[in-house]
Structure 1
Amino acid sequence: MHELSIVLNIIDIAESEAVKAGAVAVKRIELDIGKLSTVEPMAFDFAWKQAVRSTMLEHAERVTNYVSGKGRCTECGTVFGMNELYDPCPACGSFLSEVIEGRELQVKSINIDS
């Protein structure tokens, strides 16, 4: 379950920024997680609930934006929606494509309580 290490890194980032700003707690955190990032949402939610206990994020509202996958076919150049990393191009059927959206895994914003 790599989701736990991801959650712990997010907590470290948020707490570090909150401390720099002189905060006592994080009120809200917004995350962008790409649907092609290999983060399993249920495992992420479970890890989050356990890991935020007794941290500055314990009572924070978490907003998670799941970013849809998008790829570009390296054979014909078609840009298309991707549900899986190896979805074929709908125009030519090629499995050779580059992911251009959907691998995001970032803290978009943090609101603090000072």
Structure 2
Amino acid sequence: MHELSVAMGIVKIAEDVVEKEKAKSVDLIELEIGTLAGIEFDSLDFVWESAVKNTVLEHAKKRINRIKAKARCVDCDTVFELQHLYDSCPECHSNFKGILKGKELRVKALEII
């Protein structure tokens, strides 16, 4: 379960921002996570409380924006949503595609106090 290390990395980012801005804590953290980022959202929720205990994020609200995956077919130029990385183009059934979005994993915003 790598979600714990991801959560701890998010804590580190928040702590660095709080230190840099000379704040006390974080009121809200907003994350953007793509559906192809390899994150199990339930697992991240499960480990979150343990990861943020006794940190600047302990009392922060967490908001996750899920980014739906999209790709562009290399053969017919169709843009389509993906459920899985191996999904083929719905128009020409080609497996050759470029991922446009869905692999994001970033801290979008922090509201600090």
Fold shared per TM-score above 0.5: yes
The count of aligned residue pairs is 113
Deviation at 1:48, TM superposition (A): 1.0
Amino acid at match of 2:61: E
Matches within 5 A, 1:1-114: 1-113=1-113
RMSD of Structure 2 on Structure 1 (CA): 0.7
Percent identity, please: 44
Secondary structure of 1:87's aligned partner:
coil
Instruction: Give secondary structure in 2 for the equivalent of 1:72.
Output: strand
1:37-82 deviation line (CA, Å, top 9, x unaligned): 1100011111111100000100000000000000011111111011
Structure 2 unaligned blocks of 5 or more = none
TM-score scaled by length of structure 1: 0.96
Q: Which runs of 5+ in 1 are unaligned?
A: none
Structure 2 length normalisation: TM-score?
0.97
2:97 and 2:5 map into 1 onto residues whose CA distance is 29
